[in-house]
Chain A
Amino acid sequence: DTGVSQNPRHKITKRGQNVTFRCDPISEHNRLYWYRQTLGQGPEFLTYFQNEAQLEKSRLLSDRFSAERPKGSFSTLEIQRTEQGDSAMYLCASSSNYRAAEAFFGQGTRLTVV
């Protein structure tokens, strides 16, 4: 297993454009998390999936943000009408139901909105 994979690693976009990130969790991991990390801060929780069901969303996840995990495997995070304040590292993590406390993180997607 190659671990949690995120693509792209870097994304530069103009303000107002839509962007989509992808996360491939460790195979057979039921739980998938998205976090956002701004410079000099720790990650902040965005949303959580149990298989294909999105069970929790942070209030940080505004209407411009949407996340999906259609088949309970990979997940996508889309940001519509990007703003400069969306510039951050977007981290994905996964864990199994049997060892839910042990989350494995991807290398993240760094978004820069210009």
Chain B
Amino acid sequence: KQEVTQIPAALSVPEGENLVLNCSFTDSAIYNLQWFRQDPGKGLTSLLLIQSSQREQTSGRLNASLDKSSGRSTLYIAASQPGDSATYLCASMDSNYQLIWGAGTKLIIKP
């Protein structure tokens, strides 16, 4: 059974810093790996989707990497801004298009 873990559970950094969020998964037989953002009391916004055959995806200041052999993905946020404050969730998708989620990393960017 797939298990997805995110470390750290919470992170607080000053504005402008670059940061890395970590995601690990136990079963490398994934269809893809996705990163989402969740703002308090709200739904989920998709940030990046990495296919199992890909190593990374980039969108603006965000870069996500995938290493299936080690069961790890990272989300890199460059030049962080207070508006980046949110909970970031990673999820692995299996061949049935089912998502298995980590518990998230709560990120606070201090002005």
A residues neighboring B (CB under 8 Å) = 4, 6, 31, 40-45, 48, 56, 91, 93, 95, 100-108, 110
The 8 closest A-B pairs by CB, nearest first: A42-B101, A107-B43, A105-B44, A105-B43, A100-B97, A42-B103, A108-B43, A43-B101
**Contacting residues, chain B, for A101 (C-beta < 8 A):** 31-32, 49, 93, 97
Assess the A42–B89 pair: CB atoms within 8 A. Answer: yes
Assess the A45–B103 pair: CB atoms within 8 A. Answer: no
Sample of 15 more A-B contacts, CB < 8 Å, known A93-B44, A103-B46? A6-B43, A31-B97, A40-B104, A41-B104, A42-B4, A42-B91, A42-B101, A43-B101, A44-B101, A101-B93, A105-B44, A105-B46, A106-B43, A107-B42, A108-B43
The main secondary structure of chain B at its interface with chain A is: strand
Count of chain B residues with a beta carbon within 8 Å of a chain A beta carbon:
23
Assess the A91–B98 pair: CB atoms within 8 A. Answer: no
In angstroms, Cα B42 to Cα A6, docked, is 11
**Contacting residues, chain B, for A91 (C-beta < 8 A):** 43-44
